[in-house]
Amino acid sequence: MNIFRKLKPGVPKRGLFYITTLVWAFVSVRILFTGIEDIFQNTPRYWVFILIGILLSVPFFRFFFLRISRKHIKRILNVKSERPCLFSFFDIKGYLIMACMITMGITLQKVQYIPHIYLGTFYISLGLSLFFSALYFFISGIRYKQIRVYK
């Protein structure tokens, strides 16, 4: 058992916020560029659908991803270890949700059941929402000492 503790890639709690920022920012950029590419390839009025995607990203973040981000921040703050595992920025449920979302996204792109112009608009709103969440984690990492007080 002692050997597993030595091999565990532990990082400071504040580091988990920055790791989460990098993961969510990477995913958001990938999704955002996929959405923009879908829209540019399928309509000459790309600016309308990009604007709709941008406008939809705000409520999508506010009512969905902000709640998830706060839950993960609270969980990270309440981890007993001062150097939790590098991969503990999500819990098991978070990893399962992420796997389902990735599988669903790949499936939607491949089956082409939904027109790419609408799928691209959705991807823009999803990508921007994830990017806002990444910024929220980044700010939480910067303000780590202050948010620790307000558990």
Domain assignment present for 4 = no
Give the pLDDT confidence score for residue 6 in this predicted structure. Answer: 63
The pLDDT of residue 139 is above 70: yes
Domain assignment present for 142 = yes
Domain assignment present for 98 = yes
The mean pLDDT value of the chain amounts to 86
Summarised one tens digit per residue, pLDDT across range 9-59 is 777 888 888 999 999 999 999 999 999 999 999 888 999 999 999 999 999
Domain assignment present for 132 = yes
Q: What total number of domains does the chain contain? A: 1
Domain assignment present for 121 = yes
In a 10 Å sphere around its CB, with 0-12 CB exposed, 13-18 middle and 19+ buried, how is residue 92 labelled? exposed
Domain holding 21, by residue range, is 12-149
**Is residue 127 a contact partner of residue 28, using CB atoms and an 8 Å limit?**
yes
Domain assignment present for 51 = yes
What is the per-residue DSSP string for 57-69? HHHHIIIIIHHHH
Domain assignment present for 3 = no
Question: If we measure between CA atoms, which residue out of 1, 143, 125 comes closest to residue 63?
Answer: 125
